[in-house]
Structures are given as structure tokens and as C-alpha cells.
């Protein structure tokens, strides 16, 4: 069996140029670093505007040059942990040197992309400008009067509450949630009404419940008209009218969330076929396998290999080979259910995980796919090209194993199908 290719994991940096116009409209700094973490390979306009440098000037600087010295050690230590695999992402606040000489603050969320062997391909950092947040926080501490004047004119949504009963909401907060007046906010029985039920539990956490002086979380809120949107909420305790009061500053981060989701989707999807790549397949598959074990439900796996694919490439070229791969993926989607997880493992090798299917049901599905492929005829000039597939079928849960072990077992059954002459389905025995 051919060794799985790591090609899907090279997809993100190659595609950033294609997405540049999208990146540059997102109000969020995005920076891509090389595998050693020192060289920036791509930066969007939002980050350039944030630090005041041109794109070329930013790309020419090595990692750490733009960071204030006092914040560099924490950044480097977090990057080291990311590279070593101790963490899969980190979030920190750091200061940057603006080209004009002043300091700007950024909230940085960084993650790492790895290939199938676990080697680092790239680092991606999302940089949110929190300079105004920091300046506002410093101003809020001066005095209650100055605090009130400031928040009245802040472009962040700011609310004060005790035990979730609103005491004050600035204009930006009222507009953020789509209400007509501050009084409507004050008349709410509880500010919990502003939180979407699916994220209510973490969002309801208040710093009064523990020893924290501040909290910073993201969750989904609900506007007056029912529209859902993502917010970032920073909360801290102030002395308001002589009593401890929670002050929350909120901003709409819906666009940032969309950008992050697009990048994650890009990093876990095979661009040619639209199937999950190996990483995406494992992420979804492991979750499904855990669910099946927890509830004692059946789940099966099909390991699939397109027959004589190398000969097709050699005889007709890679363009036709790509067409064959895309056609096969389309056939899979027409045969399998929406909840089934289709992944391209590399080259002409595919796998599908079938939730709720025992061995007999999986065998039936495999035969449907084999027959559907056998019926395909692709026009190649005046000739026609047929497609056949060899399939190995196993049921998970027969023995304790993780997804990787289950796939290895399915691959062995697939090898039996190829040895049996290809264009056939072989099912595990016993």
C-alpha cells in the first residue's frame, strides 16, 4: 500500500495567496510563519495597519523584532511549547512597536499546522488590536466620574451589573444588541436573556464566584430580534456607587470567528476532492469512535483504493487522474449518507467511517459503491475509461483499538481485496 502523502497539509500556505483579498477585508491581523517560526511568509493588510509598516517591511523582519522586549520571552516560550507539542495553541496579550514609535497592544492567538508525521509546517497567528481596550482600562481606574465619561463615548459595548441585573449600558452596548434604548436593557429581568442558550453555562460564569479579578471569554449572544452573533467579553470588578459591581466590555467578533472557521476548514479539507484530508478524517473519526464506544453503538470502516490508478496517470496524465479522483469522491457522496465521514488518506487511497452500521450494513454499502464505480464511463477523447475500486470492510469495537489501529486493520483487509484480483469487496472474518 502506498505511503500516505502529506500533500493536504501543504494546502494552507499555498492557498493563502488565493485568499489574500478575503484576508485583507477581515478586521483581524493574520500572520503565517515558516516552519522554524522565525520568518513571516504571509501577512494581511490588517496586521500591517496595526503596526504601521508596509507588507514588505513586515515580511523582511524576523520573529520578535516588532515585539516589545519585555514581552518577547513569554512569546518565545509559548512558541517553544507549541512546536514541542506541549500545547496545540496559545493566547496571550503582547505589545508591539508601531512604526511611528508608540506601543500598540495585540491579543495573539497562535496555532500550529503539522503534517501526518507530526512535523511542523507553519504557524498561524491571529492578532486582534486591543490597544483601545488597554487604554480604556487604564482610564477606567482613574475615577468614577472620568470612568463614566469615558464609557459613555466608548465604541465598545459596556455594561455594569450586579447579580446579572443591569445597572448601566452605554450607547454602543445598546446598539450592539439591537435595542432602542438603555432603559430596555435595564428593564430586563436578567442579562442572561442576552446569551444564547447553547453557550449559557460558560457565559454565566462571574468573577464573583471565584478568586479571579478579571475574566475574558467568547460566546454567542442574541440580539433583540433573535439574531445570534459572537462576542468577546472582558469582565472585571469595580467600585460603583460604593458597591462591588461587574463591568463587562463586549465587542462583536463574528467576522473573526468566520475567518478562523474558514482557515480550519481549509486546513482539514482536501482541495481536489472536497473530502476530509487525513487530519480532518482523524478529528471527526476519533470523535465518532468515542461516541460509539460510550453508547455501545456499531461503527464500521471501509478502506478503499482505486484500481490501477498509477497506470491511468502514466497513460493519460495527471489532469485525467485528478478527474478520476474527483469523480470517485462524488460517487462516494452519492452512495453514502450525510453523517458518514469520507476522507482522502493520500493519493488514490480513501476511507469512510459509517456510524451506526454493523458489518453487514457496511458490506452492503461497500457493494453499492463498488457497483456504482463499475458503472462509470469517463470520456477520454473517442474512448471511454472505466473505474473500479477495491474495498476492505471492518467493524470497529470488535477489539479495543483507536482509529489509527482500526484503519491499519481495514488496510490489511483491503490488501486481501487487491490480492483477490481487485474490483471486489473483502470483509473481515470472525
DSSP-assigned beta bridge partners for residue 350: 304, 344
Count CB-CB contacts under 10 A for residue 69: 9
Give residue 9's pLDDT: 43
38 vs 5: CA distance, rounded Å: 26
Q: Does residue 346 come out as left (phi exceeding 0), alpha (psi in the -120 to 50 range) or beta?
A: left
The pLDDT tens digits for 315-349 are 888 889 999 999 999 999 999 999 999 999 989 99
Report the distance separating Cα 122 and Cα 56, nearest Å: 19
User: Radius of gyration of the chain from Cα atoms?
Assistant: 27
Query: Tell me: the pLDDT tens digits for 176-206?
Result: 999 999 999 999 999 989 998 877 665 555 5
What domains does the chain contain, in order, with CATH numbers? 7-129 (3.30.450.20), 134-254 (3.30.450.20), 271-427 (3.30.70.270)
Query: What is d(CA 387, CA 385) in angstroms, rounded to the nearest whole number?
Result: 7
Q: What is the pLDDT of residues 46-85, one digit of tens each?
A: 999 999 999 888 888 776 778 899 999 998 899 889 888 8
Q: Which residues pair with 33 in a beta bridge?
A: 40, 123
Nearest Cα residue to 179 out of 233, 226, 230, 235: 226
Higher pLDDT, 382 or 129: 129
Helix or strand (DSSP H, E) at 217: strand 214-222
* CA 33 and chain centroid, separation: 18
Question: Which residues, in sequence order, are CB contacts of 216 under 8 Å at separation 6+?
Answer: 232, 233, 234, 235
Q: With 90 as the cut, is the pLDDT of residue 38 above it?
A: no
Is pLDDT above 50 for 7?
no
By CB atoms closer than 10 A (0-12, 13-18, 19+), residue 18 is: exposed
Q: How far apart are CA 127 and CA 386, in angstroms?
A: 50
Q: What is the DSSP letter of 61?
A: S
Confidence of residue 3 (pLDDT cuts 50, 70, 90): very low
Neighbours of 3 (CB within 10 A): 9
Instruction: Please state, in angstroms and rounded to a whole number, the distance separating the CA atoms of residues 312 and 332.
Output: 20
CA torsion 71-76-77-80 (nearest 10°) is 160
Query: How do residues 281-303 score in pLDDT, each as one tens digit?
Result: 999 999 999 999 999 999 999 99
**Beta-bridge partners for 354:** 300
Cα(397)–Cα(292) distance, integer angstroms: 8
Residue 24, classed as helix, strand or coil, is coil
Euclidean distance between CA atoms 106 and 98, whole angstroms: 11
List pLDDT tens digits, range 228-276.
999 999 888 888 877 889 989 999 999 988 888 777 767 788 889 999 9
Residue 430 pLDDT more than 70?
Answer: no
Q: Which residues pair with 43 in a beta bridge?
A: 31
pTM, entire model: 0.46
Q: What are phi and psi of 61, to 5 degrees?
A: -90, 140
Q: What angle do CA 359, 363, 364 make, to 5 degrees?
A: 120
β-sheet bridge partners, residue 403: none
Q: Is 424 helix (H, G, I), strand (E, B) or coil?
A: coil
> Percent of the chain scored above 90 by pLDDT?
53
Whole-Å CA distances, 378 to 311, 344, 381: 15, 21, 9
3 state DSSP class of 200: helix
For residue 220, what is the enclosing H or E element? strand 214-222
The DSSP line for 54-81 is -HHHHHHSBTTSSB-HHHHHHHHHHHHH
Amino acid at each position: 500500500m502506498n505511503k500516505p502523502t502529506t500533500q493536504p497539509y501543504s494546502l494552507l500556505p499555498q492557498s493563502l495567496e488565493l485568499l489574500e483579498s478575503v484576508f485583507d477585508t477581515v478586521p483581524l491581523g493574520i500572520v503565517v510563519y515558516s516552519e522554524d517560526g522565525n520568518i513571516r511568509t504571509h501577512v494581511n493588510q490588517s496586521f500591517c495597519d496595526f503596526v504601521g509598516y508596509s507588507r514588505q517591511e513586515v515580511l523582511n523582519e524576523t520573529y520578535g523584532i516588532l515585539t516589545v522586549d519585555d514581552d518577547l520571552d513569554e512569546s518565545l516560550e509559548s512558541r517553544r511549547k507549541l512546536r514541542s507539542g506541549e500545547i496545540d495553541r496559545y493566547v496571550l496579550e503582547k505589545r508591539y512597536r508601531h512604526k511611528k514609535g508608540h506601543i500598540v497592544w495585540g491579543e495573539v492567538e497562535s496555532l500550529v499546522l503539522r503534517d501526518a508525521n507530526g512535523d511542523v509546517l507553519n504557524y498561524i497567528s491571529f492578532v486582534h488590536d486591543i490597544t483601545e481596550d488597554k487604554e480604556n482600562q487604564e482610564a477606567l481606574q482613574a475615577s468614577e466620574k472620568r470612568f463614566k465619561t469615558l464609557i459613555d463615548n466608548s465604541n465598545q459595548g459596556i455594561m455594569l451589573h450586579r447579580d446579572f441585573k443591569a445597572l448601566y449600558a452605554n450607547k454602543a452596548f445598546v446598539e450592539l444588541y439591537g435595542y432602542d434604548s438603555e432603559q430596555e436593557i435595564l428593564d430586563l429581568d436578567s442579562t442572561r436573556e442576552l446569551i444564547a442558550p447553547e453557550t449559557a453555562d460558560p457565559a454565566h460564569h462571574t468573577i464573583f464566584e471565584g478568586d479571579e479579578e478579571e475574566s475574558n471569554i467568547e460566546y454567542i449572544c442574541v440580539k433583540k430580534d433573535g439574531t445570534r452573533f459572537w462576542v468577546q467579553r472582558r469582565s472585571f470588578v469595580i467600585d460603583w456607587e460604593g458597591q462591588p459591581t461587574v463591568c463587562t466590555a463586549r465587542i462583536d467578533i463574528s467576522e473573526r470567528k468566520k475567518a478562523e472557521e474558514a482557515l480550519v476548514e481549509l486546513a482539514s479539507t482536501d482541495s481536489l476532492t472536497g473530502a476530509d484530508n487525513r487530519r480532518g478524517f482523524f478529528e471527526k473519526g476519533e470523535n465518532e469512535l468515542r461516541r460509539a464506544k460510550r453508547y455501545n453503538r456499531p461503527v464500521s470502516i471501509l478502506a478503499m483504493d482505486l484500481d490501477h490508478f498509477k497506470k491511468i496517470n502514466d497513460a493519460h496524465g495527471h489532469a485525467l487522474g485528478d478527474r478520476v479522483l474527483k469523480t470517485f469522491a462524488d460517487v462516494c457522496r452519492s452512495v453514502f449518507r450525510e453523517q458518514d465521514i469520507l476522507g482522502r488518506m493520500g493519493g488514490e487511497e480513501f476511507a469512510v467511517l459509517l456510524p451506526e452500521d454493523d458489518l453487514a450494513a457496511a458490506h452492503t454499502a461497500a457493494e453499492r459503491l463498488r457497483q456504482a464505480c463499475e458503472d462509470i464511463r469517463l470520456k477520454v477523447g473517442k474512448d471511454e475509461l472505466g473505474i473500479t475500486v477495491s474495498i476492505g470492510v471492518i467493524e470497529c469495537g470488535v477489539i479495543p483499538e483507536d482509529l489509527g489501529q482500526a484503519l491499519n486493520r481495514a488496510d490489511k483487509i483491503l490488501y486481501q481485496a487487491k490480492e483477490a484480483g481487485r474490483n471486489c469487496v473483502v470483509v473481515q472474518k470472525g
